[in-house]
Each structure stands twice: as C-alpha cells, then as structure tokens.
Amino acid sequence: MSAGRAAAPDVLVLGAGVIGLSIAWRCLGRGRSVAVVDPAPGSGASWTAAGMLAPVTELHYGEQPLLALNLASAARYPSFAAELTAATGRDIGYRRTGTVVAAWDGADLAALRDLAAFAATLDQSMQPLTSRELRGLLPGIAPGLPGGLLAADDHQVDNRLLHAALLAAVVGAGGELVAETVARIEVVDGRATGITTADGTVRSAGVLVLAAGAHSGRIAGLPAAARPRVHPVKGQTLRLRMDPDALPPRILRGSVKGSPVYLVPRAGGELVIGASTEEAGFDCTARAGAVYELLRDAQSLLPAVSEAELVEVSTALRPGSPDNAPLLGPSGVDGLILATGHYRNGILLTPITGDGIADLITDGRVPAALAPFAPHRTAPQEVR
C-alpha cells in the first residue's frame, strides 16, 4: 500500500514470529479483527530455534517464577497442537520424546546432579542415569560417558512447522498480514493510537501488541520508560541431515567440559544442533568459531554427527530481558501491550502467551499466570 491511512483493526500486532501470531490467532478466535505487521514473518528466532519444550532442562538457578510459567505452557501444548492442526490441516511436529542430558566427565556429572537436586526442590524430577542406562536410552551415544539425567517430560515441536501453521491459522481466520517495517509507534496524549510503517502508511488500531522479539526496544515513538527492556542475545543453530536410523530417539543435551550443546532429532532425518549464546549486539552474521564448537561438542556426544550432511547454519537474536523472563502485559502507555523478552523459551511459551494476551485484550484483566511477568517488575535500564 502506498502512503496513506489504512483501516483500523481492533488489534494490531507488531511482529509475526510465533509469539505475535499466536496472539493474533487467539484474538481472532475471540471475535476481534486483527492485523499483523512484519516485513519478514518468521525469519528471526522463530526460524532459528530448535523447538525444544524444555521447562526442566532449561531450568536455571534463580528462575523459579519462570519455571511455573514454562510448566503451565508445556501443559497446554497437546491441546494447542491439536487445535492448530484441526484449524489448518498442518502437523506441527509436536513429539513427546523426552530429553536425556549427558555428562562428558565427572565434573559435568556433578554439575548435573546439583541441577537435579535443585529441580527436586521445585518438585521437578530428573532421573539420574548411569553410563549403561545412558547407552540404553541412546544407543548411538559416545562410549565411556559417565552418566546423565532423564527429563522425561521435556519434549519438542518443529518450530518452523509451528510458525507455518500459525501463519495459515491467522490468514484462515481472517487476519491481515502487512509486510511492512514499523517505523514508529504513534502516541497521542499518552495513548498508543497506531503505527506508521516505513512506506509512510498510518495504521490506527484499538490496541497495539508489541511482539517484535529482540527488536522490540528499538521501535521509535515510545517514551523511554515504556520501551521494553530487551536486548539481543545471538544464537546459532545448525541443521544436519543423517540416516534416520542413526538419529537419537530423543533429545540429547550435554555439557562437554562445561560447554552446553543440544541435539534435537526430527522425524525424517534432520538433526538440529544448538546453540551458541553470544552478546554481540544486533549482529547476525554466522561465526565460524561457534559452528566449530557446536559440531565439536555434538560429535563428541554423538559420533555419527561426523557422517551427517551439514545443511544449514542459522543465526538469530533471542530477546533477552533483565531477569531472563518475558515481559507480558500493559506497557505503561495506554493502548500498548507488551509480549516480548521470551529469551530462551519463546517456542515453549507460545501457547500461554497467545492465550494470556488475548484474554487481557478481551477481559481487560491480566490473567493470574501472567501477573508475575508485568513489564515494569524490574527497574528501567538502558536498552543495549
């Protein structure tokens, strides 16, 4: 569309990754008209992610409130996947494979046992595995590893299929996709009234939802205090193709001399290996050292990796937040809701974010599950 003024939907979502699309889909399901603005839907973290649904194996010390949200979203996945498939006829690759965490040496094993003890204090069980049990669960694993843990309920979805299905669901339900860059959010008398896109079009809306991942803090127009405190954390993943018989039957995570790596097998022979964690600003170039380290560590856990075809190196920016938990709810500017900062858990948190933000828009109340993640729970800081 050329410069001008477009019709105003009830809800305008900024960002067509899995988070923005799940919100759009759920709002459409509640009878709202919706437009989603994104110049390249699903080209960011939704594309690069590995699709692990890992509330337990992504558990970090000090992140107990996040665990509750992650568990609640994981519990929604079976019905969310079924509903999405029913709406679109598309499978999203939700597989209940469980996750094995393998230690490389005694020090890694001790760290894993500490993690299991911490998880137990939060009523999360991770079953200790001996070396023999590890090989029983993952026959292709490197010999001689000292043991590990089983997180039986940490599963996976194919994030790319998930994104494609959400896009189809939004379009199928009458949502409008606007392939434009958001130049600024328009705030008039303290209320967000709409946006201007890079082509100069002004789009008004009843309510705006900012779900632009790592870029959420960079959009012009908001007062500093309302700008989401997200920063980019680069992650690189690799996609390999191998003999399906050589794929591990479940997700394999490992700590190799303290260096974390994960291997996510997909039906059909794809193996996703991830991921680097790099603070490099908004730079998205692939870095050879990170690729090397991922392949080295993955191959030391699963020797068959060295025979696999390397298909793709993918890089994206996780939306980091000050406490690694998402920013969900009113922004402090009337008419603008935040749904960003999902950091390492965007794919996992897609169902609960979609439901919760749509409920907020419909009912005008922050749902209890989202309340601990109010955007202003941490003191404002400079956006990096």
Residues of this chain that bind ligand GLY (CB under 6 A): 52, 58, 235, 274-275, 318, 344
Interhelix angle 350-363/64-88, rounded to 10 degrees, is 90
**C-alpha 222: how far from its chain's center?**
25
DSSP H helical segments within the chain, as ranges?
18-29, 45-48, 64-88, 106-121, 131-137, 159-172, 288-301, 350-363
Nearest-CA neighbor of 41 among 138, 179, 205, 232?
A: 179
- Residue 263, strand partner residues: 252, 273
Which residue, 26 or 318, is less far from ligand GLY as judged by CB? 318
Show the CA angle centred on residue 57, arms to residues 152 and 93, nearest 5°: 65
Which residue's CB is nearer to ligand GLY, number 20 or number 235? 235
Query: 205 or 273: whose CB is closer to ligand GLY?
Result: 273
Please report how close the Cβ of residue 58 comes to ligand GLY at its closest, in angstroms. 6
Closest CA to 286 of 261, 310, 312, 315: 315
Q: How far is the CB of 128 from ligand GLY (least distance, A)?
A: 23
CB of 34 to ligand GLY, least distance (A): 27
Q: Which is nearer to ligand GLY, 185 or 275 (CB)?
A: 275
Residue 52 or 101: the one with the smaller Cβ distance to ligand GLY is 52
Q: 318 near 232, Cβ under 8 Å?
A: yes
Cis peptide bond N-terminal to 286, omega within 30: no
Residue 310 CB, shortest distance to ligand GLY, in Å, is: 19
Strands in 5-6's sheet, in edge-to-edge order, are 5-6, 202-204, 191-197, 182-188
| Minimum distance, C-beta of residue 88 to ligand GLY, in the bound complex (Å) | 25
Rounded to a whole number of angstroms, the minimum distance from the CB of residue 78 to ligand GLY is 20
Which residue lies nearer to ligand GLY by CB, 175 or 274?
A: 274
User: Please, which residue, 35 or 295, has the CB nearer to ligand GLY?
Assistant: 295
* Residues whose CB is less than 8 angstroms from the CB of residue 298 and which lie 6 or more positions away in sequence, other chains included: 238, 261, 263, 273, 305
Cα gap 277→238, rounded to integer Å: 14
The nearest distance, CB 307 to ligand GLY, in angstroms, is 25
Nearest-Å Rg of the Cα atoms of the chain is 21
What minimum distance in Å lies between the beta carbon of 311 and ligand GLY?
A: 19
Nearer to ligand GLY, 26 or 344 (CB): 344
CB of 274 vs ligand GLY, minimal distance in Å:
5
Taking the least distance from each CB to ligand GLY, the nearer of 27 and 305 is: 305
Report how far apart, in Å, the C-alpha atoms of 67 and of each of 56, 72, 76, 84, 149 are.
Answer: 8, 8, 14, 25, 18
What CA–CA distance (Å, rounded) separates 329 from 251?
A: 33
